[in-house]
Amino acid sequence: MARDEQLKERWEKVQKKLSTQFADGELMELDAIIYLIGVQELGQPHRRYKKDHKIDLMHVAICTLLEPYGYYEFDFYDDEGWPHFKVKEELPVLKAGEQTVLMKEAIVHYFLEKEYI
């Protein structure tokens, strides 16, 4: 199976499984999945988040997702339990479609590592 086809198949599996579990089957978009990963990584799922914290959660998720690619490295947890990362390597300039593919690939990798799929 071609790499692109495998990524597409795995992405759809992740998207469908998360949508069933968290969105009553309504197909979740990429940003919503990134947000969920941030909540998972923070480890405070039952808390209500304000807009600023939602953006911070997405940042935590992106850092976590791109850490295996060598772009970020976990640094420390602050007093409120939020993980902080340091930049190891600047992200390359990518077109929107390329960014989407990178994030989908990273999300699939994340859920494979967690044995979710």
- Alpha-helix residue ranges (DSSP H) falling in 2-50: 3-22, 30-42
Contact 4, 97 (CB under 8 A): no
Question: In the chain, what are the domain boundaries?
Answer: 3-113
Q: Which tens digits make up the pLDDT trace of 47-98?
A: 889 988 999 999 999 999 999 999 999 999 999 999 999 999 999 899 989 9
Which pLDDT score, from 0 to 100, does residue 62 have? Answer: 98
Query: Which are the contacts of 19, defined by CB distance < 8 A and separation ≥ 6?
Result: 25, 26, 27, 28
Bridge partners for 76 per DSSP: 84
Backbone φ and ψ for 85, nearest 5 degrees, come out as: -125, 155
48's tokens: 């209500």
Q: Which has more pLDDT, 110 or 46?
A: 110
**Cα distance between residue 35 and residue 65, in whole Å:** 12
Residue 40 has pLDDT above 80, yes or no: yes
Q: Residue 1 pLDDT > 80, yes or no?
A: no
- Cβ pair 85, 67 in contact under 8 A: yes
> What band does 11 get if pLDDT is binned at 50, 70 and 90?
very high
In this prediction the pTM is 0.91
